[in-house]
């Protein structure tokens, strides 16, 4: 996931954060996030019952994810949709590239999608000479600047209007005014040309209903409508957790998603696509392909990280996060940023990327409070910190089935590449639902220290004795205030802190004195 | 005031808040006048009106005959130059199959003679909404549509003119879809 689009360079999140806080343009742009600071509370204030219902639906889905995926696939097939199960980003890319080349596709229009960012699809298409154009205005700006989106709802949030005008002017070959309306109008005309001449539309999906096979794409601009209406082929890249059991679940999921994301009551457009163009219709895609992407998600089922798959990608946790709000999305060097990105990145990359991200948190819990899916983000961060101390993937599948042969390319419309199949089969890393015990961190000095401390304070007399010793030690430091600041090995801690010297007898000592009648308060 | 009347009023209020021009609730005769008047305004520069074929609400109102009588140029889905014509048409007229008061949006279904692009390519969109099809909440509309029969291949929900928040998070109108949306409510 690393590589292009690093506005904020550096080898670690810490290094990148340093660059970010010293970038005045970025800081000016990020101040616009204030407009979204309170949106996370709107659902809670206006419809407190929605959060519980959303969390309930997500838990119900994840409890039998493979079952819902099978149900969805069967429904999609009956509608004439081609379904491909991809275990890895490589497989998903290979399928889509193969399809595009077989169909002679020369131009692809993309609607904003986190999943296609995750599998870096745009670059893969360009690499084989297929023009791929992002059509969400923010994504288009980011693509022209050769960057990656820095916010899942507002991809160009890291840019000021002046910077955006520069990017668009460069593409236009003429100086465009630093005013929102003419900039938008220019992009409208430019992208309209692209839409009309595109052979393939690629979207993600905010949700896919298993009972009706309906793919839902949420936009405000209308680019999702173009991508799903005009090109003759529509490909939806759908991470497995996007499935929801029933079409009717959308009644609460969509208003909650939109309200948490922007504070609005509903997004301007919703495209609900149920199968390809039907007999007698003159527009809509002739072919509809759904690529179901696993990418280390299903191994999380049954583990404490399962909750993370309940994420509906509203971005509320980013908007309220003091770290995100200070450093912006590029400091995370991942498709997913903010609190959810810190958790999801090391999980979906199998522990290969973003291992330092969970440590860049104050654990203030603002994200947990904001999350409309009731995901315990702060708890998961703490757990990840412990689990990441062991090298390798965070969750190791306990029971792997042998991988079925990769099934490429696909058959004609209306057929999956491998059907019928047993539940969960089809992804190369098919796993049965297992419970992974939480691993203990390796034996270390630090852990020995905490273990000894915990044993010591478990005994009241030892606890009292340790306080007395500590107080004596601290008293010895009293004449040398500031001394600790020069402790060589503890610099990170002592740079901004000094030792606290106790002011007098402890509460226990004073209580004992009172009982003896020696002191009155 | 009936409950449905209150819901319809709330719907009109929400759509107006979404920057639509709202009309109604109107009797069929008045609704037809409004549609023709809006169509003429959007095509004052000589552009065409894109009109679906076989839309039950528009047919019942007699929109085609009224527009022809008003002398506007019609573009129909069975015209050979539908797509090239649509790219330069002044307005697309559709009806909706459901609408929601709380969220302020209308649902359009695709079908034979009812292309998706009618409400997408032209710079203006006139949408006729039957008051009886306005639901109070989004969840009710979703259930209602599900139980009304098979879902169309494209069920498109529209809140108002196309917009974006991508430029410093301030709303800017007219990105890809229509820049103007007129909502005409038909009392029924
Ligand atoms: S983790 Fe929760 S708050 Fe964050 S994007 Fe996902 S659903 Fe929204």
Q: Is the pLDDT of residue A195 over 80?
A: yes
Does A253 contact B at CB distance below 8 Å? Answer: no
**Pocket residues for ligand 1 (CB within 6 Å)?**
A 260, 311-317, 340, 370-373, 375, 377
Domain containing A86 — which CATH number? 3.40.50.10420
Q: Is the pLDDT of residue A296 over 90?
A: yes
Q: What are phi and psi of A433, to 5 degrees?
A: -65, 120
Structural domain tally of chain A? 2
Q: Is residue A155 part of a domain?
A: yes
Q: Is residue A320 part of a domain?
A: no
Q: Is residue A33 part of a domain?
A: yes
Instruction: Supply the range of the domain harboring residue B18.
Output: 4-160+173-186
Of the candidates A249, A276, A300, which is a domain's last residue?
A: A300
* Percent of chain B with pLDDT strictly greater than 90: 91
Residue B3: pLDDT band (50, 70, 90) is confident
Q: Is residue B168 part of a domain?
A: no
Of the candidates A300, A317, A349, which is a domain's last residue?
A: A300
Q: Is residue A281 part of a domain?
A: yes
In the block, residue with structure tokens 């979404």: B18
Structural domain tally of chain B? 1
Distance CA B152, CA B132 (A): 20
What is the distance in angstroms between the CA of the first residue and the CA of the last residue of chain B?
15
- Report how far apart, in Å, the C-alpha atoms of A82 and of each of A277, A290, A416, B40 are: 13, 6, 6, 44
DSSP structure class, residue A233: E
CB contact under 8 A, A33 and B169: yes
User: Which of A14-28, A129-143, A483-497, B52-66 shows the lowest per-residue confidence on average (mean pLDDT)?
Assistant: A483-497
Q: Is residue A338 part of a domain?
A: no
Distance CA A373, CA A380 (A): 14
Q: Is residue B166 part of a domain?
A: no
Report the pLDDT value the prediction gives residue A288, as an integer from 0 to 100.
Answer: 98
Instruction: Supply the range of the domain harboring residue A96.
Output: 13-300
CB contact under 8 A, B146 and A248: yes
Ligand 1 binding pocket mutation candidate from A348, A371, A380 (most atoms within 8 A of CB) = A371
Q: Is residue A373 part of a domain?
A: no
Distance CA A328, CA A22 (A): 12
Could you tell me the two tokens for A111? 């609607």
DSSP structure class, residue A85: E
Dihedral (Cα; B46, B49, B50, B53), 10-degree rounding: -140
Q: Report the candidate in A474, A280, A290, A421 with the shortest Cα–Cα distance to residue B153.
A: A280
> Could you please report the per-residue DSSP string of B64-107?
HHHHHHTTPPEE-TTSTTHHHHHHH-SEEEEE-SEEETTTTEEE
Q: Is residue A26 part of a domain?
A: yes
Q: Is the pLDDT of residue B170 over 90?
A: no
Q: What are phi and psi of B41, to 5 degrees?
A: -65, -45
Of the candidates A255, A271, A300, which is a domain's last residue?
A: A300
Smallest Cα distance from B95 to chain A, Å: 16
B-contacting residues in A 83-142 (Cβ below 8 Å): 135-138, 141
Note the maximum CA span of chain A: 98
**What's the pLDDT tens digit per position in A34-75?**
888 888 889 989 999 999 999 999 999 999 999 999 999 999
B-contacting residues in A 162-201 (Cβ below 8 Å): 164, 180-181, 183-185, 187-188, 191-192, 195-196
Distance CA B39, CA B42 (A): 5
CB contact under 8 A, B176 and A222: yes
Answer for the pair A379, A422: CB distance below 8 angstroms, yes or no. no
pTM: 0.86
Q: Give me the mean pLDDT over the A208-220 stretch.
A: 97
More confident residue, A491 or B108: B108
Distance CA A500, CA A511 (A): 23
Interface test with A, best of B174, B176, B178, B183 (most A CBs within 10 A): B176
In the block, residue with structure tokens 């491909």: A84
Q: Locate the DSSP E strands across A241-378.
A: 243-244, 269-273, 287-293
Does A210 contact B at CB distance below 8 Å? Answer: no
Q: Report the candidate in A280, A424, A143 with the shortest Cα–Cα distance to residue B78.
A: A280
Average pLDDT taken over every residue of chain A: 87
Q: How far, rounded to the nearest angstrom, does the alpha carbon of residue A204 sit from its chain's CA centroid?
A: 14
Q: Is the pLDDT of residue A438 over 80?
A: no
Q: Is residue A327 part of a domain?
A: no
Report the pLDDT value the prediction gives residue A159, as an integer from 0 to 100.
Answer: 94
Domain containing B70 — which CATH number? 3.40.50.10420
Q: Report the candidate in A67, A81, A85 with the shortest Cα–Cα distance to residue A415.
A: A81
Out of A36, A228, A266, the one facing B104 most closely (by C-beta) is A266
């Amino acid at each position: 996931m690393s590589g292009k689009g690093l506005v904020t360079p550096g080898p670690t999140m810490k290094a990148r954060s340093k660059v970010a806080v010293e970038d005045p343009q970025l800081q000016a742009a990020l101040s616009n996030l204030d407009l979204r600071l309170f949106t996370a509370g709107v659902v809670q204030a206006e419809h407190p019952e929605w959060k519980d219902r959303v969390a309930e639906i997500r838990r119900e889905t994840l409890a039998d994810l493979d079952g819902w995926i099978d149900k969805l696939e069967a429904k999609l097939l009956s509608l004439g949709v081609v379904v491909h199960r991809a275990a890895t980003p490589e497989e998903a890319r290979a399928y889509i590239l193969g399809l595009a080349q077989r169909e002679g596709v020369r131009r692809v229009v993309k609607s904003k999608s986190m999943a296609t960012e995750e599998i870096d699809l745009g670059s893969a298409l360009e690499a084989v000479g297929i023009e791929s154009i992002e059509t969400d205005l923010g994504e288009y700006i980011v693509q022209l600047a050769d960057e990656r989106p820095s916010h899942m709802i507002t991809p160009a949030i890291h840019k000021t209007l002046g910077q955006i005008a520069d990017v668009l002017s460069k593409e236009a070959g003429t100086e465009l005014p630093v005013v929102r309306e003419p900039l938008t109008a220019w992009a409208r005309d430019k992208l309209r040309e692209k839409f009309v001449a595109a052979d393939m539309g690629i979207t993600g999906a905010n949700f896919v209903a298993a009972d009706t096979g309906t793919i839902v794409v949420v936009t405000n601009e209308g680019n999702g409508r173009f991508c799903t209406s005009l090109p003759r082929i529509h490909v939806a890249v759908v991470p497995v957790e996007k499935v929801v059991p029933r079409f009717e679940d959308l009644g609460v999921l969509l208003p909650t998603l939109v309200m948490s994301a922007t504070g609005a009551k509903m997004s301007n457009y919703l495209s609900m696509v149920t199968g390809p163009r039907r007999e007698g219709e003159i527009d809509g895609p002739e072919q509809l392909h759904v690529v179901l992407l696993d990418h280390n998600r299903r191994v999380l089922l049954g583990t404490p990280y399962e909750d993370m798959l309940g994420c509906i990608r509203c971005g509320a946790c980013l908007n309220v996060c003091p770290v995100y709000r200070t450093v912006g999305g590029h400091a995370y060097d991942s498709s997913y940023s903010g609190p959810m990105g810190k958790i999801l990145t090391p999980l979906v990359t199998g522990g290969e990327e973003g291992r330092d991200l969970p440590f860049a948190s104050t654990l203030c819990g603002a994200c947990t409070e904001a999350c409309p899916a009731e995901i315990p983000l702060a708890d998961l961060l703490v757990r990840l910190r412990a689990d990441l101390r062991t090298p390798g993937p965070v969750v190791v599948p306990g029971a792997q089935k042998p991988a079925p042969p990769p099934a490429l390319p696909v058959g004609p419309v209306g057929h999956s590449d491998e059907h019928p199949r047993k539940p969960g089969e089809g992804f190369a890393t098919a796993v049965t639902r297992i419970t992974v015990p939480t691993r203990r961190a390796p034996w270390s000095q630090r852990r020995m220290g905490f273990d000894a401390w915990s044993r010591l304070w478990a005994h009241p007399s030892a606890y009292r004795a340790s306080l007395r010793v500590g107080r004596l030690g601290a008293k010895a430091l009293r004449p040398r205030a500031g001394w600790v600041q020069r402790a060589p090995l503890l610099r990170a801690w002592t740079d901004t802190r000094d030792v606290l010297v106790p002011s007098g007898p402890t509460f226990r000592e004073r209580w004992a004195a009172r009982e003896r009648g020696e002191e009155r308060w | 005031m009936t409950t449905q009347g209150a819901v319809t009023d709330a719907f009109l209020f929400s759509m107006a808040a979404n920057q639509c021009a709202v009309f109604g609730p109107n009797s069929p005769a008045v609704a037809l006048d409004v549609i023709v008047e809006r169509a003429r305004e959007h095509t004052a520069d000589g552009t065409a009106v894109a009109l679906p074929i076989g839309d039950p609400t528009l047919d019942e109102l007699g929109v085609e005959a009224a527009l022809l009588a008003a002398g506007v140029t019609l573009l129909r889905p069975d015209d050979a130059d539908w797509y090239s014509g649509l790219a330069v048409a002044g307005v697309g007229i559709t009806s909706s199959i459901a609408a929601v008061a709380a969220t302020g949006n209308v649902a359009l279904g695709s079908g034979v003679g009812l292309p998706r692009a009618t409400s997408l390519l032209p710079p203006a969109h006139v949408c006729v909404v039957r008051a009886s099809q306005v639901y109070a909440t989004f969840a009710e509309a979703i259930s209602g549509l599900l139980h009304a029969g098979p879902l169309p291949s494209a069920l498109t929900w529209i809140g108002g003119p196309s917009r974006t928040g991508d430029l410093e998070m301030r709303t800017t109108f007219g990105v890809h879809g229509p820049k103007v949306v007129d909502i005409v409510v038909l009392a029924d």
